[in-house]
Amino acid sequence: MAKSRNNVITHGLSGLVGDLLAFRQREGKQFSTKSSKKYTLNVSPQLLRLIPFTLDP
């Protein structure tokens, strides 16, 4: 994770740049990180019976 200070180009930038970089702002400071991996949730039928709500994809 890199912290950005006084960078004119990335000032106020947040979100994803392609699928490589993510810009985030926390407590007034800006950070650039690699973007998070997308994952799929595999749930067994036995577990689905225990969950009182439905999971919409």
How much is the pLDDT for 53?
67
Express each pLDDT in 3-36 by its tens digit: 767 777 777 777 888 788 888 888 878 888 888 7
Q: Is the pLDDT of residue 47 over 70?
A: yes
- C-alpha distances out from residue 22 to 34, 41, 51, Å: 6, 23, 33
Entry pTM: 0.47
